[in-house]
């Protein structure tokens, strides 16, 4: 049993230690904390993108809202989308969005320029970045799943096809609560 547990420690560490040991013998597999890989949906096979997060300018270095949310500038670079967005149900523009994990809030970051770039600001703890194909004039939409005729959300919401998506690095934060040692040795997955 001792051997099992010792093995556990070593193997668990091995499980997250990538190749190419650094000076201290460790290079941990970990998503970058300053960029989001944008993966294509089945509607945009072959497309790709990245959303780079930079600190919003602040004399303090760290830019925080009054209630402590980190303020990020998001810089998108996408490629591989059809040159003409009309293939997506008559859409006329590609638009970058941010939304929160339960999709209850959305923020229009901005249109994707011809060179594939877009940018905006996000100050949510955990968020999702999307690129959609939209009609030219993006009207405030309703939340996904809202009853027909529901009041439009105060913030504009996407209504077109989702083409690229990625989650903020903070979304990768794991839970100690799901750890095997919190579950009597019986993993809960």
Partner 1 sequence: MAATPSGNAGAGARVTPGRRFGLPTWMSGFVRGVRSHAMVTAAVIVAVAGWTGAATAASQTAPPDTSHGGMAGMAGMAMGNAGPSGGHRMPPMPADIPMMPGMESLHPQGPAYVPGAGTDVASLPAGVASTPVEMKDGDTLNLDARLIRRTIKGATYAMYAFNGQYPGPLIRVHENATIYVRFTNHIDLPSSIHWHGVRLANKFDGSVGLTQDAVPPGGTFVYQVHFPDAGLYWYHPHVREDIEQNLGLFGNVVVTSPDPHYYNPANAEAVLILDDLLVDTQGIIPYGRDAADFTIMGRFGNLFLVNGEPNYHLAVHRGDVVRFFLTDASNARSYNLNFGGAPIKLVATDLSRYEHEQMVSNIVISPAQRYTAEVRFGTPGTFALTNRVQAVNNYAGEYFPEVDTLGTITVSADPTTADHAHEFTTLRANTAVTSDIDRYRKYFDKPVDHELALTVNIQGLPNSIVSFMIVDTMYFSPVEWNDGMPDMNWVSTAKEVHWIMRDVATGKEDMDINWHFTQGDVAKIRIRNDAKSMHPMGHPIHFHGQRFLVLARDGVPNPNLAWQDTELIPVGSAEDILLDASNPGTWMAHCHIAEHLEAGMHMMFTVDPAP
Q: Which residues bind partner 1 (CB under 8 A)?
A: 1-17, 19, 21-34, 54-55, 57-70, 125-126, 169-182, 184-187, 189
CB of 165 to partner 1, least distance (A): 18
* Residue 182: other Cβ atoms inside 10 A: 11
Contact 111, 94 (CB under 8 A): yes
Residue 141 to residue 150: CA distance in whole angstroms: 10
Minimum distance from CB of 117 to partner 1 (Å)? 17
How far is CA 6 from its chain centroid?
A: 36
Compute the least distance from the CB of residue 89 to partner 1, in Å. 36
Q: Which is nearer to partner 1, 19 or 42 (CB)?
A: 19
Report which secondary-structure segment, H or E, holds 35. Answer: strand 35-40
Nearer to partner 1, 119 or 170 (CB): 170
Q: Could you identify the residue written with the tokens 């040991």? A: 21
SS3 7: helix
Compute the least distance from the CB of residue 126 to partner 1, in Å. 7
State how far the Cα of 109 lies from the Cα of 98, in Å rounded to an integer. 7
Structure tokens at 189: 């997955």
We find the least distance from the C-beta atom of residue 128 to partner 1, in angstroms, to be: 15
Residue 119 tokens, joined: 């940018």
């Amino acid at each position: 049993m001792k051997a099992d547990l010792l093995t556990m420690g070593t193997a668990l560490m091995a499980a997250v230690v990538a190749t190419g040991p650094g000076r201290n013998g460790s290079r941990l597999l970990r998503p970058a904390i300053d960029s989001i890989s944008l993966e294509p949906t089945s509607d945009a096979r072959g497309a790709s993108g990245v959303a780079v997060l930079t600190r919003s300018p602040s004399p303090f270095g760290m830019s925080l809202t009054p209630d402590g949310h980190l303020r990020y500038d998001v810089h998108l670079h996408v490629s591989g989308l059809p040159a003409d967005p009309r293939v997506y149900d008559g859409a006329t523009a590609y638009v970058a969005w941010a939304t929160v994990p339960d999709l209850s809030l959305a923020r229009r970051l901005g249109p994707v320029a011809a060179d594939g770039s877009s940018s905006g600001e996000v100050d949510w703890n955990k968020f999702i970045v999307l690129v959609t194909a939209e009609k030219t004039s993006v009207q405030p939409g309703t939340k996904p799943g809202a009853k027909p005729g529901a009041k439009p959300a105060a913030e504009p919401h996407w209504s077109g096809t989702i083409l690229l998506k990625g989650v903020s690095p903070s979304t990768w934060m794991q839970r100690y609560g799901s750890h095997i040692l919190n579950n009597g040795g019986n993993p809960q997955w």
